[in-house]
Structure formats: structure tokens, C-alpha cells
């Protein structure tokens, strides 16, 4: 439902200025429309999104308040990310924070669709007036994740949300992408029988700032003991992959379902933030902006390539030749790029 009665009565889409005003006033309908705008791949909508983000960046109060705490949350399948985020988010809102959750949902490689069920899995937090949950499709591309998620964070922070949690698709390359746009990257895992480290890639341990073994149920001593054992093993593994002079990621146990250990885990997140300090945080944000710049360039070039009339003219011919075995993939790529370079791209 729209927060703007005039817009609702006319059915008209509000302009950029209306969206800016609505976002700064914390109106949910304006935030939802703005995030939909920055997720759009349509050329005209992307132009509007750039204008919106520029206007939000001109907020005179943006440099006065300390930046929002940005935390990426990843974990192995079945680790209970959504339950944990609901527990953490509820704890933070009860403490007076405003919490925004961006839940990146995997898109179907066949249809492009997504389940987007995070609001169902976080029913309590969804109803919290101090929280805002936005499930977003990954759209099948890491560039899409980088652009849409980073820009959605800007919208949430402009609306006054001082904690932004980004729930990732799973364990994979998208985690590297999300880690490059948050202040602290939290990795959730489980205590399992046998090798506790099985299935955890070294790359994830290298980018994790805080590690938590979830489902350490305080009412189940055996499970809690198993979780503590897994935490010790992970702490040992982290010492092998991280240098002695680097931040040593703490490994804690928690139960997202029961809320046990969640407050201590958040304390570790804040300790990491203190470790960065104002200078380190500013440097990290600046480096992320530079990386994001190139991500936007690659994303824009991908869009221009897809909409190029000269590429469209040879697309079916190249497709048929590759499928028929008459043209190698490397030569096909060269032909597509040559067609793009030869003709003007359609923005």
C-alpha cells in the first residue's frame, strides 16, 4: 500500500524527487519502489536509479552521522541463516536499532524466477516496525548482485537504518561479491559428525571476519558440546589460513532458534569494527567503492552488449554455427566482440 495518498489515487509512479522525500521520511512504500528501481535492468530505469542515488548522496546529514553497520551473513546449506538473522535482528531492534535486511535469493537458471521466501521465514522480524526485509533475486549474475545490493544498501541507510544485514545465496562466488561490500563478513556453520571442516572452502575462511557455529542448543548438552568442539577445530584452521599479524576471526557458538550466544556474537562484530577504526573503515569503504566502480562498468558493458543492434544481427547465425559444431567458442566470441566494436551500441 502506498504511503502517498495522491500517488495512490492517480496510480502514477512517483518521480525521483518524491522518492527521495519518501525515503528520507522512512516511508516503506517509497523504499520498496526505490529498491525496485535500482534492481531494474531497463536502460531508462537505470538512468532514473542513477539520478536517485545521486540525490540521496547529496543529503546534508549523510556526513554527520556515523555510517551504518554493514554485515554480510553467509553459511553452509541448512545452517539456519534466516532464523539466525531474525533472532539477531529482533535483538537489535529491541536495543533501539533500525535494521534493514537484504536477502539475496538464488534465481532459476531456466526461468530467472526466485522463491523470495525470506519474509515467510522471518515472520516475526517482518512485522517489526523497526525492521525492513527485502528479498531480492540474484538475477543469475554476480554483477547484478553487486549493483542491486550495494545500491539497495544506500537506500536503506538514507532511510535511517543503522544496521544493514545482507543474507547471501549460499557458499560460493557470490559470497566473495557480498564480502566486498560490507564492513564485517559473518560465516555460519554447523557441528557435524566426522570432519567438521568438510565442505568449507578455504576461500570462505580467508574472507570471514567472524565465524559462528549455529544450532548450539543450550537445552541439549550433547549438541552444545559438539558445537564447542567444532568451534575449536575451526579456530585452529583459521590460524593456518590467516597471518599472525592479521585480524584473528573469533569463533563462537550460538543458537539462532533460541537466541543463545547471539548477543556475544554481535559483540564480536562490533569488536571487529573497533579493530578497523575510523581510518580503517573509511579506507575499506573507499576501496570497496573503487571495486564497485569497475563492477558497474562491467555490468553496463554487459547490458550494452546484449542490446547492441550489430550483435543482435549476428546472434542467431553464431548460435547456429556453435550448436552445429561449425564454429569454436573462442572464434564465436571474437565474432560477437568484433560486431559490437564495429557498430554503435544501443544504451
End of a domain among 16, 47, 63? 63
Lowest mean pLDDT among 88-92, 143-147, 211-215, 254-258: 143-147
Q: How many domains does the chain have?
A: 2
The pLDDT value given to residue 11: 39
The pLDDT value given to residue 200: 60
Tell me the pTM.
Answer: 0.84
CA atoms of 246 and 243, how far apart (whole Å): 5
Q: Are residues 53 and 84 in the same domain?
A: no
Q: In what order do the strands lie in the sheet with 99-105?
A: 131-137, 99-105, 163-167, 69-75, 184-190, 210-214, 251-253
Q: Are residues 90 and 50 in the same domain?
A: no
CA atoms of 164 and 133, how far apart (whole Å): 10
Supply the mean pLDDT for the chain. 82
CA atoms of 311 and 317, how far apart (whole Å): 10
More confident call, 234 vs 255: 255
Q: Which residues of 83-113 are buried (b: 16+ CB within 10 A; e: fewer)?
A: bbbbbbbbbbbeeebbbbbbbbbbbeeeeee
DSSP 133: E
Residue 172 pLDDT grade (very low, low, confident, very high; cuts 50, 70, 90) = low
Q: Are residues 70 and 48 in the same domain?
A: no
**Which residue from 140, 132, 192, 186 is spatially nearest to 159, judged by alpha carbons?**
132
Task: Please list the residues that pair with 73 across neighbouring strands.
Answer: 167, 186
Do residues 200 and 172 touch, judged by C-beta distance below 8 A? no
Q: Are residues 44 and 100 in the same domain?
A: no
End of a domain among 14, 34, 63? 63
Residues 6+ apart with CB under 8 A from 54: none
* Cα 201–Cα 207–Cα 210 angle in degrees, nearest 5: 100
Q: What is the pLDDT of residues 325-335, one digit of tens each?
A: 999 999 999 99
Q: What is the CATH number of the domain that holds 38?
A: 1.20.5.170
Q: Are residues 6 and 152 in the same domain?
A: no
Q: Are residues 19 and 80 in the same domain?
A: no
More confident call, 234 vs 283: 283
Q: Are residues 114 and 5 in the same domain?
A: no
Q: Are residues 103 and 219 in the same domain?
A: yes
Whether 197 maps to a domain, the answer reads yes
**How many other C-beta atoms lie within 10 A of the C-beta of residue 252?**
20
Q: Are residues 106 and 70 in the same domain?
A: yes
Q: Mean of the pLDDT values across residues 127-142?
A: 76
Domain range spanning residue 16? 1-63
Whether 239 maps to a domain, the answer reads yes
Q: Are residues 5 and 135 in the same domain?
A: no
Q: Are residues 140 and 259 in the same domain?
A: yes
The C-alpha cell at 130 is 523497526
Whether 260 maps to a domain, the answer reads yes
End of a domain among 47, 63, 79? 63
CA atoms of 55 and 284, how far apart (whole Å): 23
Q: What is the CATH number of the domain that holds 252?
A: 3.40.50.300
* C-beta contacts of 258-261 below 8 A and 24+ residues apart: 258/217, 258/218, 258/219, 259/87, 259/91, 260/216, 260/217, 260/218, 261/212, 261/216
Q: Are residues 176 and 223 in the same domain?
A: yes
How far CA 70 is from CA of 11, 77, 239, 297, in Å, comes to: 35, 22, 25, 23
Amino acid at each position: 500500500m502506498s504511503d502517498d495518498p495522491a500517488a495512490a489515487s492517480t496510480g502514477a509512479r512517483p518521480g525521483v524527487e518524491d522518492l527521495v522525500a519518501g525515503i528520507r521520511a522512512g516511508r516503506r512504500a517509497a523504499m520498496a519502489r526505490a529498491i525496485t528501481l535500482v534492481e531494474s535492468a531497463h536502460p531508462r530505469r537505470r538512468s532514473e536509479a542513477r539520478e536517485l542515488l545521486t540525490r540521496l548522496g547529496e543529503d546534508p546529514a549523510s556526513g554527520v552521522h556515523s555510517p551504518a553497520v554493514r554485515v554480510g551473513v553467509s553459511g553452509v546449506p541448512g545452517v539456519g541463516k534466516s532464523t539466525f538473522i531474525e533472532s539477531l535482528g529482533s535483538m537489535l531492534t529491541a536495543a533501539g536499532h533500525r535494521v534493514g535486511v537484504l536477502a539475496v535469493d538464488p534465481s532459476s537458471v531456466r526461468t530467472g524466477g526466485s522463491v523470495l521466501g525470506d519474509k515467510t521465514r522471518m515472520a516475526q522480524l517482518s512485522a517489526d516496525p523497526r525492521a525492513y526485509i527485502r528479498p531480492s533475486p540474484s538475477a543469475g549474475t554476480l554483477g547484478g548482485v553487486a549493483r542491486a545490493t550495494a545500491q539497495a544498501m544506500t537506500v536503506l541507510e538514507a532511510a535511517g537504518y543503522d544496521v544493514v544485514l545482507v543474507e547471501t545465496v549460499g557458499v560460493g562466488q557470490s559470497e566473495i561479491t557480498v564480502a566486498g561490500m560490507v564492513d564485517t563478513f559473518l560465516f555460519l556453520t554447523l557441528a557435524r559428525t566426522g570432519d567438521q571442516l568438510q565442505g568449507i572452502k578455504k576461500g570462505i575462511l580467508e574472507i570471514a571476519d567472524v565465524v559462528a557455529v549455529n544450532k548450539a542448543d543450550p537445552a541439549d548438552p550433547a549438541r552444545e558440546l559438539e558445537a564447542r568442539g567444532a568451534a575449536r577445530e575451526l579456530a585452529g584452521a583459521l590460524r593456518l589460513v590467516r597471518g599472525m599479524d592479521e585480524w584473528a576471526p573469533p569463533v563462537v557458538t550460538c543458537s539462532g532458534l533460541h537466541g543463545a550466544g547471539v548477543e556475544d556474537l554481535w559483540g564480536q562484530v562490533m569488536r571487529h569494527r573497533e579493530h578497523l577504526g575510523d581510518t580503517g573503515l573509511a579506507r575499506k569503504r573507499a576501496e570497496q567503492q573503487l571495486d564497485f566502480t569497475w563492477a558497474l562498468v562491467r555490468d553496463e558493458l554487459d547490458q550494452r552488449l546484449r542490446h547492441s543492434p550489430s550483435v543482435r544481427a549476428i546472434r542467431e547465425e553464431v548460435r547456429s554455427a556453435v550448436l552445429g559444431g561449425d564454429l569454436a567458442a573462442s572464434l564465436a566470441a571474437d565474432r560477437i566482440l568484433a560486431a559490437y566494436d564495429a557498430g554503435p551500441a544501443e544504451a
